[in-house]
Amino acid sequence: MASDGVTDLAGGDILDVAEKIRKVDPSDMLGVLSSMPGQVRDAYSLPRPKLRIPRPASIVVLGMGGSAIGGDLLGACLLEKGGPQVIVNRDYDIPAFVDKNSVVFAVSYSGNTEETLSGFAQAKKRGCRIVTISSGGKLNELGEAAMHIALPKGLQPRAAVAWMLVPMLGVLEDMGVADVRTDVEEAAGMLEGMMKELAPSVPASKNLSKEVAAELHGTFPMIFSGPLMAPVAKRWRTQLNENSKMLAREDILPEMDHNDLVAWSEDPMAAHCAVILLRDDAEHPRVAMRMELTRKLGLDRARSVREVRSRGKGTLARLLSTMAVGDFSSVYLAVLRGVDPTPVRVIEKLKKQLAG
């Protein structure tokens, strides 16, 4: 039996045993992840409100958890297109600058996220233009029917990111903020190819996400990126939290070189960490140089360091391709750890206690 726990007692790779995967993943989270290309295309085709207004002074996304990641990705997409800055509000209160000149997306897959509902009420009082996005719940009931985007039911919020992200891109495209049709089609096509590469039927020796899962198993994962890929680094971390049921951490360059690097060069805990560097061909050349120097001056003390590179030309394809590797890795890591990736019982327990 291998010391990393990847190989089972019979001598076969656990991640290549379909029965083992089905046993640990009875709700088929891997199957849900495999539907992402279709999610991207279908989400772009959802009926959506037409906002015939001038370029907004600000775009604000109200959301938490899996519902907020879409806002982070939206901001990254508009960053390269020269669109307005996107503020993702993960709080009960909205910023003071949000007013009638703001476009607000209130996003909650369940429609019942209390922080989002609180922000929605404040945005409505200030006369903001609000688009609600949910699969039902109070958000659907409180929002204007003509300004609501209805999502399919029955998914975990973290498995519905494309459903929540792409409609926002569509609304902004209709407003003339950004042209995204080509980006959506490229991203969907890119993901179709990746689903074949990352599928459970592909052996660990040829499956990037299985390789990553094996490297992260038994470690404290650290996910690092440049600014554009920061939302994806956060996504990797939260997927490891929820699917793999393990602690993880993310950080961003160049900022981490001004503090975190010192700990890497001296803390013996570095030997227990596995590092993932999310790389993008369009990253700033100085960030690329920092990645290499940071690796030599501190990250080389980690148990392992692996680069995962984005694919595609458009921002959306590059973001989602890198995200897909992390999503699949988190479920394969759950299999190695013997934990069901789907339930998040402690979050449900917290919600019940807050409600009580």
Q: Which residue has the tokens 């209709």?
A: 174
pLDDT of residue 38: 98
Residue 356 pLDDT: 86
| Residues acting as catalytic residues | 242, 258, 351
Does pTM surpass 0.85? yes
Question: What is the structure's pLDDT at 3?
Answer: 39
Question: Tokens representing 350?
Answer: 């917290």
How many CB atoms are closer than 10 A to CB 129?
16
Give me the residue spans of the domains in the chain.
Answer: 14-27+192-337, 34-179
Dist CA 55 CA 124 (whole Å): 19
Averaged pLDDT in 10-residue chunks for the chain of 356 residues: 45 83 97 98 96 86 97 95 91 96 97 98 96 97 96 96 98 93 98 98 96 97 98 98 98 98 97 98 97 97 98 98 98 97 97 93
Residue whose C-alpha is closest to residue 18's, from 198, 200, 199:
200
How far is 99 from 113, CA to CA, in rounded Å? 22
The answer to whether the CB of 114 falls within 8 A of the CB of 120 is no
CB 248 within 8 A of CB 222: yes
Is CATH 3.40.50.10490 correct for 14-27+192-337?
Answer: yes
Let me know if the fold of 14-27+192-337 is the same as that of 34-179.
yes
Bin 307: left if φ > 0, else alpha if -120 < ψ < 50, else beta: beta
Name the amino acid, one letter, at 161.
Answer: V
CATH-assigned architecture of domain 34-179 = 3-Layer(aba) Sandwich (3.40)
- Return d(Cα 328, Cα 209) in angstroms, integer: 6
Q: What is the pLDDT of residue 8?
A: 52
